Amino acid sequence: MLDLALNLFNDMKTDGFKWNFVMFDTIIRGSCSEGRIEDGFSILELMEESKEGSRGHISPYNSIICGLCKKNHFDEAVEFLTKMGNLFPRAVDRSLGILEHCKEGTIEDAKRVYDQMIDEGGIPSILVYNCIDHGLSQQGSVREAVELMNKMIANNCFPIPSTFNAIITEFCRQGKVQNALKLVEGITARGCVPTTETYSPLIDVLCRKGDLQKAMQSSIWNSLLLSLSREKIFSKNMLSIDEIL
């Protein structure tokens, strides 16, 4: 489907049609959502070279950041965010401030800057959401982390594994297995793809509690095996799974 959209997009120029911002924004978002970052960067470059430009909208740039974060290229995402400073000085300043506070462990200050950003009409990137959620989870404020993730989803910014894995790990650390399982069900229903890191703390805490029956539930193992196959490490991990089963 994305290839068809890209072909139509390219054919438009050949046929003499002009691209507009909505087209640029849609193709960039679709490319980055599918993990095709290079295509996203290429279309972004075309947008910047066109008379249409970004029209002051930050969404195409946030899509690039989202794509980089999905591939765990967080350093590149921060570098790209920094380069956006000339176009969106206030948003970038707020975002970098939040990242710095999270790095220093001053989550309350990060939340304060986040609130300022929202009050100013800013649109946080997935990098900002991910950083604050990690900080909240690490300090044990897991319910607050879930609330922020829900706001993130409400703003059409879907969490990456790094975000919900941090929350699930903290739920498990606190012994709140049902909360963790409910969260896994919720994110899966929304189309998010769990990873092996999603299930590791769940299986670990269930085994430690002696609840082997629940740990061996087919739903957990089926989801885990699906995650392994998607990560292309199925055969590498199959032996250890067989031994456990």
Chain-wide mean pLDDT for the chain? 84
Output DSSP code: residue 19.
P
pLDDT digits (tens, 9 = 90+) for 228-242: 555 544 444 443 434
Hunting for tokens 């195409």 — which residue is that?
60
The 10s digit of each residue's pLDDT in 182-213 is 898 888 888 888 888 888 888 888 777 766 56
The pTM is what?
0.80
Find the mean pLDDT for residues 109-118: 96
φ and ψ at residue 138, rounded to 5 degrees: -65, -30
Is the pLDDT higher at 209 or at 139?
139
Domain map (residue ranges) of the chain: 163-245
**Are 180 and 172 a contacting pair, CB within 8 Å?**
yes
With CA atoms as reference, report the closest residue to 71 among 17, 126, 118, 122: 126
- What is the CB neighbour count within 10 angstroms for residue 186? 15
Q: Which amino acid is at 148?
A: L
Q: Is the pLDDT of residue 243 over 60?
A: no
